[in-house]
Amino acid sequence: MAESLSMGVGGLLVLIVLIGIRIPIAYAMIIVGGAGIALINGPALLLSQLKTLAYGQFSIYDLSVVPMFVLMGALAAKTGLSQALFRAANAWLGWLRGGTAMAAIASCAGFGAICGSSLATASTMGKVALPELRRYNYSGALATGTLAAGGVLGILIPPSVVLIIYAIIVEANIVTMFVAAFIPGVLAVILFLLTIAAYVLINPAAGPKGGAGTREEFVSATLGMIPVLIVFGLVIGGIYVGLYNPTPAAAVGVFLVLAFGVLQRKISLPVLGDALKETASTSGMIYLILLGAELLKIFMSRSGLPQEAAIWIAGSGLEPMTVMVILLVALILLGCLMDSLSMMLLVIPFFWPVLSEMNGGIYQLAEGSGYGMSTEDLKVWFGILALIVVELGLITPPVGMNVFVISALARDVPMIETFKGVLPFFMAEVVRVLILLSFPALTLWLPHVLSS
């Protein structure tokens, strides 16, 4: 047993080294997981696992929703929905001081509701909103910081690819996770808007007022948002009210966005081909990471490392809330080093057994808020919190992938300025985590209401 544990610890160290020298996370997990299984149980077991593992993983019905939502986001980026969202948000908010930045946040939230990808949201809305922010002479820090931070909304507001993967890992209900993400997602938008308001109150020159459009422009921009509302209402609304499960909902979304693009004459065969290639590339990457994560999980399970870690922490005498905070801080630190999907696949199989072991204490913690924390509730609550702190890694140095995406679009703004602009939004996210930690009901109330 001690030898197996040593192999597990050694495997983790090797994995960190491989990631550190820029080996793609999927290949790193496949190498470490495969070698670990072979060392502990012999090559015969590894070959037996490889024979069926890929099919067993990729044929999961719930996983079929991933390429559908990826395709919906790719089509939405090519059909002008992002421009329509920003025009409408700017028509409503642009006349305020800092209003164009607020419009960027609102449109990022709207695009995230039909995209599900943080990087795609940051990239797409950056191309749409950055010229307008420059036109009104917004400071480089506020303009780029707003767009980098706005991109993180795509990872939580349903449909979220990372949220789907988390649900599959811990065997939670995807619909329940989508419902639970709604209030925390709205809370993020509100806190980001308040952050911009405070920013321009302290530094008025950073976010000038935009021009007030004519009545006709306002009506035209507002009507242009109708296709987005239809897609969101039929896809996410249909899931919430139980009309269909996420996979057929995603198919409905793809059909609606494709139909809108054809009617607007913005979808041609070459454009559709590009969207399909983008979907295949992204989905292939996700599936390969899933395979690597499964191999690594088998290796770690056979080494006994996660179980021993759970037993040790449960017997350490630490309060359940202390353990929860430690795990969330660890996720923030890891998020500085790797992308959100890889991190969830890598660490959730380790963290979840720890929380499961301490479920009784967490039950007592939440009981004061009116909720007995069942295992299913714990999956939902921790999943939303984990996803939020994973978001922080997208805007935190040294990786900060959203910052790199926006910096590539705004080459005249030094990256240090973008990180300065992101800092107030980072603090707003910390406030959101503290609120959701203190009041589990904000996450669990809506799923309980809709399931009753």
Each residue of 206-233: pLDDT tens digit? 888 766 666 777 787 788 778 878 888 8
Which amino acid is residue 439, in one-letter code?
A: F
Domain boundaries, the chain: 62-282
CB-based burial of residue 256 (10 Å sphere; 0-12 exposed, 13-18 middle, 19+ buried)?
A: buried
Cα separation, 429 vs 436, in Å, equals: 11
Each residue of 18-50: pLDDT tens digit? 877 878 878 888 888 888 888 888 888 778 777
Residue 110 scores a pLDDT above 80: yes
Going 143 to 149 to 155 to 156, the CA torsion angle's sign is negative
Each residue of 178-192: pLDDT tens digit? 889 989 999 999 999
351-365 burial code (b ≥16 CB/10 A, e <16):
bbbbbbbbeebbbeb
Which amino acid is residue 100, in one-letter code?
A: T
Beta-carbon neighbour count of residue 427 at 10 Å? 12
Residue 189, pLDDT score: 93
Question: Taking the CA atoms of the chain, what radius of gyration do you get in angstroms?
Answer: 22
Residue 184, pLDDT score: 93
Which amino acid is residue 263, in one-letter code?
A: L
Cα separation, 142 vs 119, in Å, equals: 19
Cα separation, 49 vs 297, in Å, equals: 12
